Amino acid sequence: MIRDLVNPVAETISPDETVMTARRRMESQAIRSLLVVENDRPIGLVSWRGLGQQDGGVPIRQVMQSGLPALTDDMSINDAASVLAGSDVDFDQLPVVNESGVLIGEVPRSAIMKRGVEADAATRPLRSMSEPDEAVSAPAIHIEQGMNVIGPDNDKLGSVDHIEVSPDGAISAFSVKYGLLGRHSKRLPVDVIVGTREDDLLVTIGQTEFKMLADVGEEVV
């Protein structure tokens, strides 16, 4: 059930805050999207990709995506997966609401996509794409510095540089160095990883979205 996967909402934004605020908030948390909440109810979503070249002073209300799917805590994981499959909104987290539509938590998109996950699906070890779906207890993917980071179109984004690990030992984020002599790097959240292939780390982010992300240490304006 969805109630077994619900996490507290880490970050939200109001529709009257600005694009600049959204960019800074996403950068600081290494996330690609934010729930837009008004009167304790989710009304939309703003994604890093959707911000594009928007002026920093534009209100979120003008650039947010509406029609964001919401889950209830008594919904099954299979039903939630069906909701996800029918949505074309670019988001990292699905809002969970009560019977009155009030936001009570969120569930990672990656947890819904991996049916049958346990309550700690957001931080459990990732499995290789080559491993069968039924191998729930399969070993974790081995991620190390120097691995090629490959996007969905088989394009190389760069190579793994620094790997961040949470206190419980789970990978929380990693940086990708790129460019001439690898002088630049960008920080990515762990939920963009979909698997490995020999010395490659496969991710959901393509070249266009990768280029839009701010470099590590670069001030978002």
CATH number, position 164: 2.30.30.240
Please indicate, yes or no, whether residues 138 and 94 belong to a single structural domain of this protein: no
Residue 144 lies in a domain: yes
In the listed set 113, 134, 154, which residue is the last one of a domain according to the structure?
113
User: Residue 3: its pLDDT value, please?
Assistant: 76
User: Residue 108: its pLDDT value, please?
Assistant: 75
Residue 73 lies in a domain: yes
Please indicate, yes or no, whether residues 130 and 97 belong to a single structural domain of this protein: no
More confident residue, 84 or 140: 84
Q: Considering its fold, how many domains does the chain have in total? A: 2
Please indicate, yes or no, whether residues 75 and 136 belong to a single structural domain of this protein: no
Residue 118 lies in a domain: no
More confident residue, 142 or 129: 142
Please indicate, yes or no, whether residues 7 and 109 belong to a single structural domain of this protein: yes
The residue behind tokens 């419980």 is: 168
Residue-wise pLDDT tens digits, 51-95: 877 888 899 999 888 877 778 878 887 777 776 665 655 566 778
Please indicate, yes or no, whether residues 133 and 77 belong to a single structural domain of this protein: no
116 pLDDT tier (thresholds 50, 70, 90): very low
User: Residue 176: its pLDDT value, please?
Assistant: 93
Please indicate, yes or no, whether residues 152 and 78 belong to a single structural domain of this protein: no
Please indicate, yes or no, whether residues 105 and 62 belong to a single structural domain of this protein: yes
Residue 55 lies in a domain: yes
> Which residue range is the domain that position 205 belongs to?
123-221
Residue-wise pLDDT tens digits, 5-41: 788 877 889 999 999 898 888 877 777 788 899 999 9
Please indicate, yes or no, whether residues 134 and 190 belong to a single structural domain of this protein: yes
CB 22 within 8 A of CB 11: no
Please indicate, yes or no, whether residues 216 and 189 belong to a single structural domain of this protein: yes
Q: How far is CA 24 from the centre of its chain?
A: 16
In the listed set 113, 131, 150, which residue is the last one of a domain according to the structure?
113
CATH of the domain at 71: 3.10.580.10
